[in-house]
Amino acid sequence: MSLSFRVWSSPLICKATLANGENNRTHHANDAAFIRRAADLAEMSAGITSPHPNFGCVITTCTGKVAGEGYLYAQGTKPAEALAVEAAGEFCRGSTAYLNMEPGDCHGDHTAVSALVQAGIGRVVVGIRHPLDHLRGSAIRELRSHGIEVNVLGEDFQSKVLEDARKSCLLVNAPLIHRACSRVPFSVLKYAMTLDGKIAASSGHAAWISSKLSRTRVFELRGRSDAVIVGGNTVRQDDPRLTARHGQGHTPTRIVMTQSLDLPEKANLWDVSEVSTIVVTQRGARKSFQKFLASKGVEVVEFDMLNPREVMEYFHLRGYLSILWECGGTLAASAISSSVIHKVVAFVAPKIIGGTKAPSPVGDLGMVEMTQALNLIDVCYEQVGPDMLVSGFLQPVPDLLPVIPSEDATFEIDPSFNPFEASIIFFYKTWDLYGSFSNFSPHSIRMPYGEEKDDYMTWSSVEHYYQANKFVGVKDPMAHDCVEKIRMARSPEEAARIGRSMQRQKPELVRNDWEDVKIDVMYMALKCKFSTYPHLKSQLLSTAGSVLVEASPHDLFWGGGREGEGLNYLGRLLMQLRAEYLSKSSVSAENTSLA
């Protein structure tokens, strides 16, 4: 068997090559500009739409003039697409609609797609596909089924200007994208500090560092968050209200994180007449105070391990998409160390307060050299009244493009699915849900020893067989010993250790053709394993339609790597095997029905 895989380089595939490069550039620049406009429109209702995503739509005529625009105001109101169609009226026919994101068509509601179809739109350009697996691709398929040309940025063509436009679409729905890709809500750490880096005076007094204009911006930030969180000490020092007092939009839930529960009986946060407060604390802390809070209508949630990650995973499960951290430096440091903070928003006021004991925005992170400092990405600077607003990301917004494997390569392996619409199943450790796909799973196989086709032997795992094959057929007694040692290894880990270290220490013992045959060796072993164990074969078949990725952060050949930079050959071989099983079962079904 020979498998030829195209080495993956970039998921972006240029299909739309216009004859004239200049035309191409203008075309892309227009698409990028209108997609950005759609993203700006979507942004207008940020916070109000939640938990619905933010949608914007721009309709342009064939001469490139804007004929109509719209954005989704709030969950349950008219979709952006329908509003833009209404505004564009008769100009819709044959025109182009720009959407920052593929519509979700929640619970069978096809209003957005129907509006575009019925209006006679000729082309739709989509910034990003819907981030949620079960919705991704369905609106695009539906539009195409009505003969509408649909282009998705980054899939059909590529350029820097389009990439930037796509990024603006990722940013506008960052909380939803995080929800789709991680187990914690999108978190923003916000603080106001003096020019000498203090968030309060040595006394703890902090009202106010930033200007009124800046604080109004904070109300907006709160208005687009599902919750605002502070630590116990901020409650004791500031007695905050944490409401969005700009008169419109929604007010986030207030969360207090306290280990001691040593909090005052009188506090603004215990007034839940306008908005609720949740106190998260260590299990068993001050039971009498818990009762007192409950009598005020404040919810108390106890944690066995009170730390930012556990708390964020809990709120993720409760459906919170975005959290604004307005705590002091102690809790901020703990949250950053737990990698739950994605973005930082800092208001820097042109004031100096001094004081060696005055608190700073981030407490101890355990770093000792400047080279360890966390560098923000996509940094923005804006003057707000007298203050400077600096913001940037500690972690990038996850990208939705499937990076493993590329569209071409996936299609070669299994033509039955579109990688842009498929979900990804990760496997790695044997105890994972799909851990039996790992080479290390404890499933022995009977395979020949080298070239001797009738010399079948039992190998304790695929890994044993694979590692031993590095040295098979080499005319050196040491190579033979090596094969035996690996075959007798007590665990797949041990087999891998022996195989890898011998390969490093004695490269002369490795067969000359190893790089050429290693994929075939692995494939034969996998085929044997999945044919031997029917329940494994059923599990493999149950993943039809999904991309399989070995989530090894270290092995960039067999695994997918930490950031999807790996070639994922193990995942590819499993998909290849799955496709073979699937095509065999459809042929036999056909034969049965003919018989």
Ligand X SMILES: NC(=O)C1=CN([C@@H]2O[C@H](COP(=O)(O)OP(=O)(O)OC[C@H]3O[C@@H](n4cnc5c(N)ncnc54)[C@H](OP(=O)(O)O)[C@@H]3O)[C@@H](O)[C@H]2O)C=CC1
User: Which sequence positions are flagged as catalytic?
Assistant: 81
Q: How many residues at the interface with ligand X, by CB under 6 A?
A: 30
**According to the binding rule CB under 6 A, does residue 327 interact with ligand X?**
yes
Go through 551-588 and write b for each residue having 16 or more CB atoms within 10 A of its CB, e for each that does not: bbeebeebbbbeebebbbbbbbbbbbbbbebeeeeeee
Candidate segments 205-213, 400-408, 431-439, 554-562, binder of ligand AOF by CB under 6 A: 205-213
Residue in the structure block whose two tokens are 């997918």: 560
**According to the binding rule CB under 6 A, does residue 391 interact with ligand X?**
no
Query: At 201, is the secondary structure helix, strand, or coil?
Result: coil
Where are the alpha helices (H) located in 306-431, listed in sequence order?
308-317, 329-337, 407-413
Measuring CA to CA, which residue among 203, 185, 188 is closest to residue 391? 188
Candidate segments 64-72, 123-131, 208-216, 300-308, binder of ligand AOF by CB under 6 A: 208-216
Tell which one of 109, 133, 196, 262 touches ligand X (CB under 6 A): 262
**According to the binding rule CB under 6 A, does residue 483 interact with ligand AOF?**
no
Tell which one of 169, 170, 174, 242 touches ligand AOF (CB under 6 A): 242
Candidate segments 10-18, 86-94, 206-214, 379-387, binder of ligand AOF by CB under 6 A: 206-214
Q: How far is the CB of 202 from ligand X (least distance, A)?
A: 9
Per-residue x/- mask for ligand AOF, residues 318 to 357, rule CB under 6 A? Answer: --------x--------------------x----------
Per-residue x/- mask for ligand AOF, residues 451 to 470, rule CB under 6 A? Answer: --------------------
Query: 277 touches which of ligand X, ligand AOF, none (CB within 5 to 8 A by kind)?
Result: none
Query: 285 touches which of ligand AOF, ligand X, none (CB within 5 to 8 A by kind)?
Result: none
* Residue 519 amino acid letter: I
List own/partner pairs for 4-10 with CB under 8 A and 24 or more apart.
5/405, 5/409, 5/412, 5/413, 5/519, 5/567, 5/569, 5/572, 6/406, 6/408, 6/409, 6/412, 7/567, 8/403, 8/404, 8/405, 8/406, 8/409, 8/567, 9/406, 10/158, 10/406
Query: At 161, is the secondary structure helix, strand, or coil?
Result: helix
Tell which one of 70, 104, 240, 560 touches ligand AOF (CB under 6 A): 240
Q: Give residues with Cβ within 8 angstroms of 97, minimum separation 6.
A: 57, 58, 59, 81, 84, 116, 121, 123, 124, 125
**According to the binding rule CB under 6 A, does residue 334 interact with ligand X?**
yes
Q: How many residues at the interface with ligand AOF, by CB under 6 A?
A: 18
Q: Give residues with Cβ within 8 angstroms of 120, minimum separation 6.
A: 92, 93, 94
Closer by beta carbon to ligand AOF, 198 or else 578: 198
How far is Cα 309 from Cα 162, in angstroms, rounded to an integer? 35
**According to the binding rule CB under 6 A, does residue 152 interact with ligand AOF?**
no
Query: 159 touches which of ligand X, ligand AOF, none (CB within 5 to 8 A by kind)?
Result: none
Query: 215 touches which of ligand AOF, ligand X, none (CB within 5 to 8 A by kind)?
Result: ligand AOF
Query: 543 touches which of ligand X, ligand AOF, none (CB within 5 to 8 A by kind)?
Result: none
**According to the binding rule CB under 6 A, does residue 306 interact with ligand X?**
yes
**According to the binding rule CB under 6 A, does residue 328 interact with ligand X?**
yes
Strand partners of residue 381: 390
Query: 218 touches which of ligand AOF, ligand X, none (CB within 5 to 8 A by kind)?
Result: ligand AOF
Is the preceding peptide bond at 325 cis, omega within 30 degrees of 0?
no
Q: How far is the CB of 201 from ligand X (least distance, A)?
A: 8
**According to the binding rule CB under 6 A, does residue 172 interact with ligand X?**
no
Per-residue x/- mask for ligand X, residues 212 to 231, rule CB under 6 A? Answer: ------------------xx
How large is the angle between the packed helices 21-43 and 80-88, nearest 10 degrees?
Answer: 120
Strand partners of residue 457: 447
How far is Cα 527 from Cα 573, in angstroms, rounded to an integer? 9
Q: How far is the CB of 286 from ligand X (least distance, A)?
A: 10
Per-residue x/- mask for ligand X, residues 342 to 361, rule CB under 6 A? Answer: -----------------x--
DSSP letters spanning 222-278: HHT-SEEEEEHHHHHHH-------SSSS--PEEEEEESS----SS-GGG--SSS-EE
Residue 115 phi, psi dihedral angles, 5° rounding = -60, -45
Query: 232 touches which of ligand X, ligand AOF, none (CB within 5 to 8 A by kind)?
Result: ligand X
Our measurement of the distance from residue 104's CA atom to the centroid of its chain's CA atoms, rounded to an integer in Å, reads: 18
Candidate segments 90-98, 289-297, 320-328, 426-434, binder of ligand X by CB under 6 A: 320-328
**According to the binding rule CB under 6 A, does residue 208 interact with ligand AOF?**
yes
Name which of residues 183 to 212 contact ligand X (CB under 6 A).
Answer: 191-192, 199-200, 204, 206, 209
**According to the binding rule CB under 6 A, does residue 266 interact with ligand AOF?**
no
Q: How far is the CB of 330 from ligand AOF (least distance, A)?
A: 13
Largest CA distance in the chain: 90
The binding site for ligand AOF (CB under 6 A) comprises 192, 206-210, 214-215, 218, 230, 234, 238, 240-243, 326, 347
The binding site for ligand X (CB under 6 A) comprises 191-192, 199-200, 204, 206, 209, 230-234, 237-238, 257-260, 262, 306-308, 326-331, 334, 359
